[in-house]
Structure 1
Amino acid sequence: MAGKTTSARRRAFYQRLAAFEAAPLWEVLGNIVPRQPTSHYHAHQWHYSQLRPLLLEAGDLLTAEEAERRVLVLENPSCPGQSRATPSLYAGLQLILPGETAPAHRHTPSALRFLIEGERGYTSVGGERTTMREGDFVITPAWAWHDHGNDGDEPVIWLDGLDIPVISYFESVFSDPHEESRQPLSRPEGDSLARYGQNLLPIDARSPYGPTTPIFNYPYERTRDALIKAALGAAPDEHWGTTLRYANPIDGGWPMPTLATWMTHLRKGEQTTALRSTDSQVMHVVEGRGEITIDGQVISFGPKDVIAIPGWQWRRLSASEDCFLFFFSDRALHEKLGFHREERQ
């Protein structure tokens, strides 16, 4: 009887609190500060073979100029309509048809491009143009002018990755269109890679993009060759396989202040032991076939597929063919804010 009376008194007290837009922490503490990380998102796979025809169909419906950015957003079905692959990561597939230009603009979110298909697409960033080839990892720093185009005869398609959900949390997402569809170029192609990407730096090296790397194209040819040689030189890590992370040559940190990026190589028959970490990830299959197991869910993948991996879910990889896998993640933020955690089995 006393318990019922106490409960009734508490409910009445809570109702009085609600009238003043207040609430008792002790009723929700376990939910807002749980014993371990929890995610409302589930792992999800997007098959490139299914989405490519739809992306090309979008190319028949509207031009790149009309769309500003002709992109199919990869939406995690756990939270439809929110334009999120994971709680903190945006992903999409962008199409540029021959002769098209995606008009120049700039925006507060940081962006990355990972070229999936095509050989004569280009992007211009901060007055320098770079030709994009399959497997290249290209960066658009926050608030840097950029435009894209296609000088070839075939479609160009790449994976977009942005930190839009994070910037949206701060209500700080905005953009600015350029006066011209293509920004004026002020440096020759290859300038940034020559200055910063040859194990050499200018004597007073500083990135023109603040905390973002001054290199905005990391060529796949070099990355792939490095991974193959690294795999021959040492046994693969039990949990990571042969993994090399992309780096900012100025400070050795992640290339982008909010997004971590790396490439994993698994030779045919190799598999990793399970681990989990607080960061959420998006994995793109550059080459190869295999399986990724995420909290017991087995996902078979093939070339050019994209898979969302929520945080704090056990993951392990196995390769039925030689695999090269590109990842981007919010780990850079987790580390800066001091709450990144990892567990290994």
Structure 2
Amino acid sequence: MKAEVPEMVRAERRQYYDQINHFSMTPLWEVLGRLVPRQPTPAITPVLWKYADVREHVMQAGRLISAEEAERRVLILENPGLRGNSSVTQTLYAGLQLIMPGEVAPAHRHTQSALRLVLDGEGAYTAVDGERTTMRRGDFIITPAWTWHDHGNLGKDPVVWLDGLDIPLARFFDTGFAEPGAAHSQGVTRHEGDALARYGSNMVPVDFHQPPSAPTKVFVYPFAQTRSALKTIALGDIDAHHGYKQRFVNPATGASPMPTMGAFIQLLPAGFESLPYRSTDATVYVCLEGEGEALVGHQLLKFQENDVFVLPSWYTLQLRAGREAILFSYSDRPAQQAIGFWREERLPAHRQA
């Protein structure tokens, strides 16, 4: 326990702090606990967006503004602890993007990496560097940094997907660049499925070499394949903390598909309850199938299909499945691992954060 400081000393210190403030200086000892905490003290909070509650607001945006006028018609999911920052965690962005039948979200590129997770509707496509992929529910689609991309809807239904980007991380480094496309839509230069066949079939072109830090050439991970793999894995032993959980990789290198963001998929059998777990990467979860509960610290979040929820850094997570559930998630884990920050802890059943 620190000794009580006399008022005369405190007054002298305040006067000193006022003096050095004119030189844009401040005393470390007054803020050391905040700068170097004993454990993470995130500003973000656990939060759940119920898709059934927000879907109509997303659709209303389609009646108010066109995709061309907006460039990207998106409702940003802002964490309550970071309102006004366009952030879902300290380093990540999330939003629900809508494209109506017949629309095109025009081509552009930017230094921020992006992922798409298709939630609702069919008939849309994403084009990346001259190749289109049809967007089907549950598909995990990537637009790597500084690649040309646009979206279109050739179907009859509105299509909604979750956007995940490293916008806050790029903003922190002041490394954001963007460029509009010369044409509204890219010209198609490769047939659909070319990248998946060329780089995602346990083969790569004979002269292809890619450093581990480069983003994947495979830009679509079809949910049908992902789900089939999970079902097969679920015939084996289960991880008590995660259920059946896999991470998406660049098949050419084994590294994360994007250097700044990692993506994960997990299956929770009906009635499964995980042991408590925590890690330093704040994570965005999306329920693709089933329903369940997430105990985030001491806050209980009940999720169903298409719901989105956030796990802050170093908060304990326990998952409980009602019906069998499949959860997609993404975080900044690869970036943390690259600089040596990432930490995890598997807790026994009797411990709570």
Q: Which TM bucket (shorter chain)?
A: over 0.9
CA distance in 2, matches of 1:121, 1:249: 25
CA distance in 1, matches of 2:281, 2:147: 26
Contact 1:94 1:157 in 2 (8 A): yes
Task: Give the counterpart of 2:159 among 138, 144, 156.
Answer: 156
Mapped pair 1:126 → 2:118:
no
1:91 matched residue in structure 2 = 94
CA distance in 2, matches of 1:137, 1:238: 26
Q: Supply the AA of the counterpart residue of 2:288.
A: V
Contact 1:70 1:94 in 2 (8 A): yes
Distance of aligned partners of 1:218 and 1:306 in 2 relative to their CA distance in 1, 3 Å threshold: same
Mapped pair 1:70 → 2:73:
yes
1:41 matched residue in structure 2 = 44
Residue 85 (structure 1) shift: 1.0
- Per the normalisation by structure 2, the TM-score is 0.94
Task: Give the counterpart of 2:272 among 270, 273, 285.
Answer: 270
Aligned residues: 344
CA distance in 2, matches of 1:125, 1:6: 64
Residue 148 (structure 1) shift: 0.2
Q: Supply the AA of the counterpart residue of 1:228.
A: K
1:250 matched residue in structure 2 = 252
CA distance in 2, matches of 1:34, 1:262: 29
Task: Give the counterpart of 1:327 among 326, 329, 346.
Answer: 329
SS where residue 317 of structure 1 aligns?
A: strand
For structure 1, the residue ranges without an aligned partner over 5 or more in a row are: none
SS where residue 69 of structure 2 aligns?
A: helix
Q: Once the two structures are superposed, what CA deviation does each residue of 1:82-136 show, in whole Å capped at 9, x if it has no partner?
A: 1111111100011111111000001111000000112221010011111111110
Residue 188 (structure 1) shift: 1.1
CA distance in 1, matches of 2:201, 2:26: 57
Tell me the percent identity: 49
Mapping 1:1-345, distance limit 5 Å: 3-206=6-209, 211-232=214-235, 234-345=236-347
Residue 19 (structure 1) shift: 1.6
Residue 66 (structure 1) shift: 1.0
Contact 1:207 1:214 in 2 (8 A): no
CA distance in 1, matches of 2:19, 2:96: 50
Select between 24-33 and 213-222 the one with higher mean Cα deviation.
24-33
Residue 204 (structure 1) shift: 2.5
Contact 2:289 2:324 in 1 (8 A): yes
SS where residue 291 of structure 1 aligns?
A: strand
Q: Supply the AA of the counterpart residue of 1:57.
A: Q
Contact 2:283 2:310 in 1 (8 A): yes
Q: RMSD between aligned alpha carbons? A: 1.6
For structure 2, the residue ranges without an aligned partner over 5 or more in a row are: 348-353
